[in-house]
Amino acid sequence: MGEPTVDPRRKLAKLPTGSEVEITRPDGRTWHGILVPATEFSAENVVVLKLATGYNVGLAITERDVLTVIERARRPRTSKPSGPVAISPPPPATPWVALLTTGGTIASRVDYQTGGVKPVRDEREILESFPALDAEGPVRVVPVFERFSEDIVPSDWVALAEKIGESFRQGARGVVIAHGTDTMGYTAAALSFMVRDPPGPVVLVGAQRSPDRPSSDGFTNLPAAIHLARTGDLGEVVVVMHDGVSDDRFTIHRGSRVRKMHSSRRDAFESRNAPPLGHIEGKRIQLGSEARRPSGSPIRVDTRLDARAALVTYYPGLSPIRLRRFVRADRGLVLAGTGLGHVSRLHIRALRRLITNGLIVAMTTQCLGGGTDPFVYSTGRELVREGVVYLDDLLPETAYAKMLWALGQADDPARVRALLLEDIAGEFVHRRRLEGGP
Amino acid sequence: MKAGLEVHQQLATRKLFCPCPSELSEEVEGTVRRRLRATGGELRALDPAAAFESALGQSFVYEVVPTSCLVELDEEPPHAINAEALDVALTVALLLHATPIDEILVMRKLVVDGSNTSGFQRTALVAVNGWVEVGGHRVAIDTICLEEDAARKVSETGGEVRYRLDRLGIPLVEVATGPDLTSPEQVREVAQAIGALLRSTQRVRRGIGTIREDLNLSIEGGTRVELKGVQELRLLPKYSREEIARQEMLLRAKEELHRRGAKPPSGGPVDVSDLLRDAGPGPVASSLKKGGVVLAAPLPGFHGLLGRSAEPGPRLGRELADYARSVGVRGILHSDELPSEGVEASHVEAIRHRLSLAPQDAFALVASTDAAQALGALQRVIGRAALAWAGVPPETRDPLPDGTSRYSRPLPGRDRMYPETDVPPVTLSVDHLTALGRRLPERPEETRERIRGQYALSNEVAGVLLREGEADRFEALVRKGHAPALVVRLLTHDLPALAAVPRAEPMSEASETVLDTILTAWEKGQFAKEGVQPMLEGVLVHGRSLVEAASSAGLAPMSRPELEAIVEGVLDRNDALWRARGKAAQSPLMGDVMREVRGRRDGKEVAEVLEKALVRRLEGLGGAR
Ligand SMILES: [Zn+2]
């Protein structure tokens, strides 16, 4: 038993979380519990106690409260793995899968005291959350970086591309990248251009529900992704996510055609303009004829990127001055134009000047479905005459990733333009069919 | 006995974490299939109940209804806590003299039986340390919580459980008493008092299933056992008495096991299929015929302790069978009940011999076409038998309609909660609490006194209206212009009588509009008081429209000429009677007429019409005699 203190607020501020305390309120009621971190939204003087019943309560502490420290925590309590999980080193004959982690919620563990989520760092931790993940064969966890999806930058794509190459060179059958879902489409597109002719599947997967909930989609889509990486007859970069809101069917999307189309649903990812490459149901992998099989050529990893480019969605009222200021330091600009690929006629002269000065301007459509076409309306005809590159049905994000890659490959604007229009990873659909809707 | 109650009341606001209406629905728009996973570390550390549920490896099917959105499907984060529902919970807290928490934090309570799509129930402690006065005693109210209701279980077949999303997310106020209740009757009285207080807020849902009680009960030497989800409040004393008897039985068995010096079972199940090839008709023979197995497990020291199903009262054998059923078998056979079900005395001897049993030992049999299932069932039986040495195992039990209960799962651990990080905390301001305190609703006892005076009701009638939770509906209907006496009769006599009508589906709640319409029709003389009951039954039990109910109860409004025609017909057929007995024939004839009128006109009016017609005929004879 500690001694009651006179200044509860100052004492509490110094007390580590996990300490056991008693607080006697001015009304005479005594609260007994474990000190846990307050939330980001808690009022300033609020202290949060975890009661014996499991409930957390927030107490607004004033100088009239009396604090008794029952037991001071030695260091902040963290949930520890409850026991060693045996992981067999991959025998040379067994096909193994590299699981690259990036800090996305899918490969993370929850701290049940704070409710916070922490990334996993090794096989033991991932097998705690996914006990049967290595049932079919070994999985090697390779932490690449720890970042929220929205914090990922193009240099992280480079790090991932290098690890993919390294994994295959070490003999991995396939590579799975556990990635936050917000920018997974951008990463998938960039890797599609940077990693060519992979000898096995490169599978990006993420969770729309974090694994701190028993309902996380990661519990079913990560095993599906690993299964595809281990056994799939596939040699390209893909995204595997839920097909619908049920947990029993998954869709294989081409990395350069996929987009997150919903902020929260587990079936948020969609292949645009063409059907997905295939599906996974249980252990059955069904791949359509469009899916690229391993080519047999050696893998090529080219990590040259030039990030001096911008992606701008045109909107009514966007002024040429504002646009020009935005791209001042850039070599490339991807516009997500309206409809078939338009911006206001007011921009035509300004764009002409930018292009003359060396800026490469590419046009996509903010409709996110269908192709661009400069020849239907006069604005488009004028834009194409000024040198704007129309990228047909490339998604704006894919076009942005491709722009960075193309700028990294060549200095000559004509060469960059040619690369933009070349089909590198099956990113163009060109032949769009009625099925699937808009 | 020592008991505590948790009263769960649904609120009539929108849902707790989304703007969906708190309404049940019969319109299924589609289904979604899910799996839930409580991960390794967390299971071992946190909760035996969750481990038990997760180990079952079930898949869950959810029925999507118009009263659900992406939040119920766990396809969208929860919205901020419903401020209106929180105000109701705080109002209840103030009515119970409890102290609200300064900053309310929403927690996730791990529940992986599928009843929550997320795998947890969201719940927040709102206030603590209150009391309610019942029968002159103060009963402590430990906690008042606000939580979301679970999805409604529709069916359970094989490894698949089907839920409907309509109930998921409906706000529940949970009021928990201290473990201070000491008699079965007190349990009911306290539940009624808390129920009346909750209803006084006028923001609660009504009808079967909208208020549910969890009863925690232990006796001296026993253990806390939770009966979860009692819907029939009047059965609370019966549940209490049955649970006391059950715990007493378990303690007697414990004592006897120790007295016999028996040791918990150590051997595993043994295949005895070969000994039972010639068993007579019964579960054993039918399993073996389908290529199944019969496994036996020794229960050392249990001879005579398991009980026979013909005997009244709780039996240890049934407890063992309930554990076996939780893995899907239909039941067990045990030696205290054998020979029976086609198992002969010679079989029993052979099994006892195979298991090397002493005279004080018993055994249990499970017959199944699935050997693994039979093995699992018997392992559970052995596990439960081992608990008999400790007396009463801590359990969650399901209440059954006959007042007994059945094992459902282990009692949840204490630590199955962690913070709901998706929902920001709510800091309660002193101003807001003061404002709520100023507009507290009328307390039940105040309402009773007021309506007693205002509508000239007897003390007893006012008390019944309050206890049955009908005071607000009584007032609403009286305000619509109905006579208080008629409304009282409808609410305290006709409506409760419907509970006895056998039905397959739960009865739908009588809306004020329906009651208003029925009362109006009654007052207009479209049917007599005898017609009220069939009308209510038609509408509420059989789900008919008012017009359909009236016609199927033979209560289609009857016109005056129709009534007169019936009267003339009866007089025609009873010519001799009225000619012989004159005016004295009215009373025997009245019975015949009423049988044909069947409540479609008031009895008094029928008598008038009959009298008039009779007199007219007698006058036609040349003057009344
Ligand atoms: Zn909803």
pLDDT at B593 exceeding the cut of 90: no
B139 shares its domain with B204: yes
Cα separation, A8 vs A158, whole angstroms? 51
Question: Does A54 contact B415 at a Cβ distance shorter than 8 Å?
Answer: yes
Please give the average per-residue pLDDT across B288-306, as a whole number.
Answer: 93
B365 shares its domain with B451: no
Cα separation, A129 vs A226, whole angstroms? 14
Question: Does A109 contact B41 at a Cβ distance shorter than 8 Å?
Answer: yes
Note whether B160 contacts A: Cβ–Cβ < 8 A. no
Note whether B430 contacts A: Cβ–Cβ < 8 A. no
B70 shares its domain with B175: yes
The contacts of residue B74 (CB under 8 Å, 6+ apart) are A209, A213, A215, B117, B118
B184 shares its domain with B301: no
Residue B80 within any structural domain of the chain: yes
Per the listing, tokens 């529902």 go with B85
More reliable by pLDDT, B485 or A286: A286
Per the listing, tokens 């105040």 go with B446
pLDDT at B72: 97
For residue B378 the two structure tokens come to 């018997």
CATH number of the domain bearing residue B373:
3.30.1360.30
Note whether A412 contacts B: Cβ–Cβ < 8 A. no
Cα separation, A115 vs B347, whole angstroms? 58
Note whether A266 contacts B: Cβ–Cβ < 8 A. yes
Least Cα separation, residue A130 to chain B (angstroms): 7
**Which residues of chain B have a CB within 8 Å of the CB of A29?**
99, 128-129
Would you tell me how many other CB atoms lie within 10 Å of the CB of residue A40?
8
Residue B244 within any structural domain of the chain: no
Task: List residues bridging with A254 in a β-sheet.
Answer: A238
Q: Is A23 helix (H, G, I), strand (E, B) or coil?
A: strand
Name the residue in chain B with its Cα closest to that of A109.
B39
Cα separation, A215 vs A230, whole angstroms? 25
Q: How far is CA A51 from CA A18, A30, A37, A57, A58, in A?
A: 12, 11, 13, 8, 11
Q: Which CATH number fits domain A309-421: 1.10.3720.10, 3.40.50.1100, 3.40.50.2300, 3.40.50.40?
A: 3.40.50.40
B132 shares its domain with B7: yes
CA angle, B339 as apex, B336 and B342 as ends, to 5°?
Answer: 135
Partner B, chain A 64-83, Cβ-Cβ below 8 Å: 79, 81-82
Query: How many angstroms separate the first and last alpha carbons of chain A?
Result: 69
The rounded Å distance from CA B15 to ligand 1 centre is 7
What pLDDT digit, counting tens, does each position of B65-92 carry?
A: 999 999 999 999 999 999 999 999 999 9
What pLDDT digit, counting tens, does each position of B158-205 carry?
A: 668 999 999 999 999 999 999 999 999 999 999 999 999 999 999 999
**Exposure of A223 in the CB half-sphere (CA atoms within 13 A):** 20
Quote the percentage of chain B above a pLDDT of 70.
Answer: 92
CATH class of the domain at A97-301: alpha beta
pLDDT at A91: 56
Enter the DSSP assignment of A293.
P
Is the bond leading into B339 cis (omega within 30 degrees of zero)? yes
What was the ipTM of the complex prediction? 0.90
Low-confidence ranges of chain A (pLDDT < 50): 1-2, 76-88
Question: Does B103 contact A248 at a Cβ distance shorter than 8 Å?
Answer: no
**Which residues of chain A have a CB within 8 Å of the CB of B73?**
245
Cα separation, A82 vs A231, whole angstroms? 32
**Which residues of chain B have a CB within 8 Å of the CB of A39?**
105, 419, 421, 424-425
Got the DSSP string for B338-361? -SBTTB-HHHHHHHHHHTT--TT-
Would you tell me how many other CB atoms lie within 10 Å of the CB of residue B57?
9
Considering its fold, how many domains does chain B have in total? 4
| CB contact at 8 A, B11 and B172 | yes
The rounded Å distance from CA B71 to ligand 1 centre is 5
Give the mutation candidate from A31, A47, A56 for the B interface (greatest B CB count, under 10 A). Answer: A56
The rounded Å distance from CA B66 to ligand 1 centre is 9
B452 shares its domain with B521: yes
Residue B204 within any structural domain of the chain: yes
Q: Name the CA radius of gyration of chain A, rounded.
A: 26
Last residue within a domain, chosen from B544, B575, B605: B544
B611 shares its domain with B480: no
CATH tag, A8-71: 2.30.30.520
Question: Does A39 contact B70 at a Cβ distance shorter than 8 Å?
Answer: no
More reliable by pLDDT, B129 or A118: B129
Least Cα separation, residue B290 to chain A (angstroms): 31
Name which of B102, B112, B424 is nearest A59 (Cβ-Cβ).
Answer: B102
Question: Does B418 contact A43 at a Cβ distance shorter than 8 Å?
Answer: no
Q: Is A263 helix (H, G, I), strand (E, B) or coil?
A: coil
| CB contact at 8 A, A417 and A360 | yes
Name the residue in chain A with its Cα closest to that of B106.
A56
Note whether B417 contacts A: Cβ–Cβ < 8 A. yes
Question: Does A214 contact B73 at a Cβ distance shorter than 8 Å?
Answer: no
Q: Is A14 exposed, middle or buried (0-12, 13-18, 19+ CB in 10 A)?
A: exposed
**Which residues of chain A have a CB within 8 Å of the CB of B415?**
54
What pLDDT digit, counting tens, does each position of B221-278 carry?
A: 989 999 999 988 889 999 999 999 999 999 999 999 999 998 888 778 999 999 999 9
Task: List residues bridging with A332 in a β-sheet.
Answer: A309, A360
Enter the DSSP assignment of B538.
I
pLDDT at B126 exceeding the cut of 70: yes
Would you tell me how many other CB atoms lie within 10 Å of the CB of residue B588?
12
Q: Name the CA radius of gyration of chain B, rounded.
A: 31
The rounded Å distance from CA A215 to ligand 1 centre is 17
Strand order in the sheet with A360-365: A309-313, A332-337, A360-365, A389-390
Q: Is A377 helix (H, G, I), strand (E, B) or coil?
A: coil
Task: Please give the single-letter amino acid code of residue A66.
Answer: V
Confidence of residue B93 (pLDDT cuts 50, 70, 90): very high
Give the mutation candidate from B53, B418, B430, B433 for the A interface (greatest A CB count, under 10 A). Answer: B418
Cα separation, A110 vs B39, whole angstroms? 10
For residue A427 the two structure tokens come to 């990113």
Note whether B117 contacts A: Cβ–Cβ < 8 A. yes
| CB contact at 8 A, A193 and A398 | no
**Which residues of chain A have a CB within 8 Å of the CB of B112?**
214
Please give the average per-residue pLDDT across B97-120, as a whole number.
Answer: 92
**Which residues of chain A have a CB within 8 Å of the CB of B150?**
none
Enter the DSSP assignment of B504.
S
Question: Does B32 contact A215 at a Cβ distance shorter than 8 Å?
Answer: no
CA angle, A184 as apex, A262 and A264 as ends, to 5°?
Answer: 25
**Which residues of chain B have a CB within 8 Å of the CB of A131?**
40
Q: Is A383 exposed, middle or buried (0-12, 13-18, 19+ CB in 10 A)?
A: buried
Partner B, chain A 21-50, Cβ-Cβ below 8 Å: 27, 29, 36, 39, 41-43, 46, 48
Enter the DSSP assignment of B181.
B
Give the mutation candidate from B102, B111, B429 for the A interface (greatest A CB count, under 10 A). Answer: B102
The rounded Å distance from CA B81 to ligand 1 centre is 12
B520 shares its domain with B591: no
The contacts of residue A299 (CB under 8 Å, 6+ apart) are A165, A168, A169, A195, A196, A197, A198, A199
Last residue within a domain, chosen from B512, B544, B576: B544
Cα separation, A243 vs A249, whole angstroms? 6
The structural domains of chain A, with segments of one domain joined by +, span 8-71, 97-301, 309-421
Task: Please give the single-letter amino acid code of residue A209.
Answer: R
Q: Is A31 helix (H, G, I), strand (E, B) or coil?
A: strand
Name the residue in chain A with its Cα closest to that of B416.
A54
For residue B385 the two structure tokens come to 């038998």
Per the listing, tokens 């030695």 go with A74
The contacts of residue A10 (CB under 8 Å, 6+ apart) are none
Would you tell me how many other CB atoms lie within 10 Å of the CB of residue B137?
14
What pLDDT digit, counting tens, does each position of B55-68 carry?
A: 445 689 999 999 99
Would you tell me how many other CB atoms lie within 10 Å of the CB of residue A411?
9
The contacts of residue B484 (CB under 8 Å, 6+ apart) are B455, B456, B457, B474, B478
pLDDT at B337: 92
For residue B389 the two structure tokens come to 């040495």
CB crowding A368-380: b at 16 or more within 10 Å, else e = bebbbebeeeebb
Bridge-based pairing of strands A309-313 and A332-337 is parallel
The rounded Å distance from CA A186 to ligand 1 centre is 32
Name which of B44, B101, B414 is nearest A82 (Cβ-Cβ).
Answer: B44
B92 shares its domain with B138: yes
B88 shares its domain with B192: yes
Note whether B150 contacts A: Cβ–Cβ < 8 A. no
Q: Is A320 exposed, middle or buried (0-12, 13-18, 19+ CB in 10 A)?
A: middle
Cα separation, B340 vs B69, whole angstroms? 53
Supply φ then ψ for residue B394, to 5 degrees. -70, 120
Note whether B37 contacts A: Cβ–Cβ < 8 A. yes
The contacts of residue B449 (CB under 8 Å, 6+ apart) are B462
Cα separation, B271 vs B295, whole angstroms? 4
pLDDT at A127: 72
The closest of B415, B465, B595, B508 to A113, measured between CA atoms, is B415
The rounded Å distance from CA B121 to ligand 1 centre is 15
Partner B, chain A 83-142, Cβ-Cβ below 8 Å: 109-110, 112-116, 128-129, 131
Confidence of residue B311 (pLDDT cuts 50, 70, 90): confident
Note whether A261 contacts B: Cβ–Cβ < 8 A. no
**Residues of A classed as catalytic:** 105, 181-182, 260
Q: How far is CA A241 from CA A178, A249, A268, B68, in A?
A: 11, 9, 8, 24
What pLDDT digit, counting tens, does each position of B26-51 carry?
A: 999 999 999 887 654 344 444 455 55
Q: Is A317 helix (H, G, I), strand (E, B) or coil?
A: coil
| CB contact at 8 A, A232 and A269 | no
Task: Please give the single-letter amino acid code of residue B545.
Answer: S
Got the DSSP string for A43-78? -TTEEEEE-TTS-EEEEE--TT-EEEEEE--SS---
B360 shares its domain with B474: no
Domain residues for the domain of B115 are: 2-218
Bridge-based pairing of strands A389-390 and A360-365 is parallel
Enter the DSSP assignment of A399.
H
More reliable by pLDDT, B300 or A213: B300
Q: Do domains A8-71 and A309-421 have the same CATH topology?
A: no
| CB contact at 8 A, A189 and A402 | yes
Question: Does A54 contact B99 at a Cβ distance shorter than 8 Å?
Answer: no
Q: How far is CA B517 from CA B539, B545, B557, in A?
A: 11, 11, 13
Give the mutation candidate from B17, B103, B433 for the A interface (greatest A CB count, under 10 A). Answer: B103
Cα separation, B447 vs B442, whole angstroms? 6
For residue B510 the two structure tokens come to 């009588």
B593 shares its domain with B498: no
For residue A385 the two structure tokens come to 């005459």
